[in-house]
Amino acid sequence: MGIAPERIYVDKRSGATADRPGLSAALAYAREGDVIVVHTLDRLGRTVRDTLNLIQDLAEHGVGVRNLADPIQVDSTNPNDPMAQLAVVLLALFGQMERTYTLERAAHARAVAAAEGRRIGRPSVVDADKLACAAHLREAGHTMAEIVAKTGITRTTLYRHLPPRPAEAVTATPVTAAEAQRESVD
């Protein structure tokens, strides 16, 4: 029998987001007697409450839920089974805890990287031709604001990729205190 390919719904997004088109489509299609099969139970909801509410709503409409990869197998086709309810609560709680700890670790890693002066985030992709144009403009004496306007490259990226201008030599002749006094009187 199997599952028809058009009835396999996949989300590429994180379970942490509420907007998941695959899950929404599966829920819209589900009919009494159907069973929604998920890789892990935490794919159904962002929190324990979300997951429990969704499973309860599905059960009220005669739709079951089964998971494939969790250490505890859940079969919610019998919503009154206390062991199944316990398994759902535990798995949903573990999923929520894992998500919370992952966010905390990521925030800590970003803070450490920022404190060490390391760049955070995805590296920018700089077009070599635009960068060459920016270097030419810089050598011609244009300001960074002008270069940003002409190339579309961000100021930060320009400072990271372009060499700094050499320091300009001071050409003024030193003035003695007596000469400065004489000039101020005149």
Contact between 44 and 50 under an 8 Å Cβ cutoff? The reply is yes
Give the pLDDT confidence score for residue 125 in this predicted structure.
79
Q: Give the CA distances from residue 172 to residues 107, 120, 156, 185, 186, in Å, rounded to whole numbers and listed in that order.
A: 52, 44, 33, 21, 20
pLDDT digits 0-9 by tens, 126-172: 888 999 999 999 989 899 999 999 999 999 889 988 888 776 655 66
Which tens digits make up the pLDDT trace of 160-177? 888 887 766 556 667 777
- Please, which residues bridge with residue 178 across strands? none
pLDDT of residue 150: 93
Q: Identify whether the C-beta of residue 72 lies closer than 8 Å to the C-beta of residue 16.
A: no
Strand 35-38 relative to strand 64-67, pairing? parallel
Sign of CA dihedral 75, 81, 87, 89: positive
